[in-house]
Structure 1
């Protein structure tokens, strides 16, 4: 068992000092084993001796070194005064140091030897102390995150003065240090040069042997030099009649454009009351002669600005006495009803309807009306489908002349597949993907995703990857869609893992030899659950890879189960499960009370009931001690002081 005495410690015997030096001079030096410890935590030196020795055991030091713990000739093992309150030594040689500080870092030597028959062993350890890592800060050497293609960029993963051994950089959750134009050097990431394909969400992780942590997300947009867009009308011709509907499209192709601006004769026209500028499109709510002129559009991003071709628009009063009007707005939706009204000054006229220059096809959804005087006719289309898109005219025939009306363009929109926008999420390894979706519409809806103080925009759908370790201050996902003025919004409030059925104060009693099943079933959003971690008493991680198969962990979705087989009284204690998502983590406790066979659950001296955490630790070390053949000998554990 682990021993520690309160008796005064005996001074080192000069004989054993010389004996230790003699052992080291005869015994070849073994390789140094590195042991990593966490600041403020405990570390274990698992050194055991499995042979009989006729002499006592002792831990000692020589030279300028310092004694840590000793197994003397007679009596229990003990630790030297400086270590007494945080040192534990087993009878077969295993040492545990608690409440580690940086002064404990250094070289430790384990010495054991018997004089008759002669046997000896010397083992060297190097103890490295690390503190748990705090969140690093990923920063960019530019004044903003909108970069120009072709420039050289440097990222710095600032972990402060922490003891960090490894830095890893990610773009959109994937390691990037192996990319040909990327160089990772310690805490710095160099991209030389940066291109459009390097746009994305950047993070870095820091590691040391006892912990790791992930930085903030840095959203980087890389813009290339723009080429000239093409300004085109959505329908020909470029000569229009007063009162008709017109729209232009500024076609920039696949380029990354931040803003579109439209001009007539060099002046910005987007603020005029009958004009609507929406992204790459310019709409007129009927035009007048005032709208005649030379039109251009300008596209802009952080890299450059580019101007389109000139589009000449001429607007005149219609030469025909026949007028075509409609009740439609700029966009008619599939399934709605639209009417065209054709009026003429001719009398006793016959009306013919045309679409895109051809006679109107037949169909039950076309309804025609003509007044008895022959000066007015109506075409009603219900329900409207995308097949009706095009330019509509009416042709009037009388006994003396034929006239064709002004054209009206019918533009038909398709609503998204779902009536309302969808707020969703999908679990991935190490995090979650947030989703705002309102797809299937024509024109495509403008989607805006807002989460944790930042906003992303795209057409149809927006995704954002949020990794574990990111600091989430505002856990509400807000999705908003805008399809040509039709608005839909949804919100989802995410939370840390919750289990409404779990009781941290519940004690599970079982009999030695039976099996136990510990179950965490979460009631929070299952798509956010990305990681479960199980711990034995004293926060020792559960080893599910051990050959004895004692522990088994099974995780399915939002449920995780720890199975423990063939229980003994040494399995008593509090087991914990930590469930972690992007919002935070929650710890669930399970108290396991294993009773010896033949007990009835009372606390009388005839049986064994639940033990404290300290008693459990003592029993575990005691079991290890039973494996060794304890004899009489001497061994030493020394720490090199630098």
Structure 2
């Protein structure tokens, strides 16, 4: 704003200068005589607390305005012309003459006060006052401080925030007596070993910076009458970390498709490149795709991640094997062998990196005992072969991408014959009976049998039947079993005794048992006949005593051939008793070897002394 001057009457300028010069001379003279005697002028400031945009009035106290012609106000402590704000005239005409330090906001009053409107922070400082009078020569001065509102808060950084480096955030604002505080998100900032505040909390330092420090930070500035705030988004740059390649599969079939993905934690997102066997660049994307894989594409695939903000990079490699699927699994070797010999079976297949596993039936075969496997499991050796080793064998071929099983390999084991077994084991026979022997021997294939008696072959089958045995059939009967595949034979001998019939040979055979039974029956019958005879004789004796001396004829059914003549002394009295058994009512079954004739009469001789 330009300087404003009060209205003045015509001719006032020359008279004013004349009056001013006269007043100055008089004032100088007065000061020479009174300066040392008058104390400084006190200045009252209202209001006492000054804020930016307010108005203030500086009023000198204790002045006798009637003796004053004018009063001057200066900006600063030096009262020179270049610092004068204005001169306010009291007589003969009230008016204000602005000086070089006038800003357009300062006005004078008839009481010589200074009013400053719309205070600025720059208005803070010293203001000096001097009255002009022939009798007053003292001056006054005061200081004012204008407090500014907290505004224009800003947060500045020290540059890019990179992980593991030091990051500084500085908070500034306009205003007076400003204090500062920080928030992270909506919570108070927690300081610690890595995070610190300094310079009246204006400076926030991260040392070292972590990716986890990324967040919104707010700085609050405040004084006794105002406050302001601003926010800052801290973006910590980091990475790339070591890349991760997926999927986690190393083996692929020939002709299949390969897709690999590479990811690395990074801010900003990393840039990716792929290379094969660390020699050739393939693709510049995070995903690598190869169609129709071939064997020569087995090798190391490397993913490299690069961060153009941190200027850092990292890499990871993944090994890939391209394999052919397992097929045509086949077992070769002898399908027939002989027990106790050695057998070798070999498994072959088409495919890459095939591992082999052997089975007999559903049982897995492992190295140990009579079974041995080669280092690659392709060859199975059985030494010696047992008959239990016969059966179906299968070979399983497996690699990382497939598996296949051979068709069953049927192994035949020839064995035997074992020692023949002759049955029954009965060794005693009576003449006229039959000999029926059976011979068996465990063997594969079944053996051929030969019966030998007295060094002569008497049969070529497992069964031997001889009817109507005679004493000449006594001897050793040999069963010989022969296996044409193993070219082995085994013999077993059974000694047979043939005895004259009906006398049963000793021993616990069926003929002896039958003879014992018959003997017991005959003994019981003999005892019964003897009792009957004695009872009859006693009855005859009693009859002779009561009858005449005539002969009594024998009654029918009585024993025949018994006389009453007493034996001569010294001779034995022999009595005969005849027992008759009907053929249709035998006393008991008789053995087949001794069959009684019909109406057989069995004599029993009893000697009586």
* TM superposition score category, shorter chain reference: 0.3 to 0.5
Larger RCO (CA within 8 A; separation ≥ 6): 1
- The structure with the larger Rg is 2
- Bigger helix share: 2
TM-score scaled to structure 1, two decimals? 0.36
TM-score scaled to structure 2, two decimals? 0.38
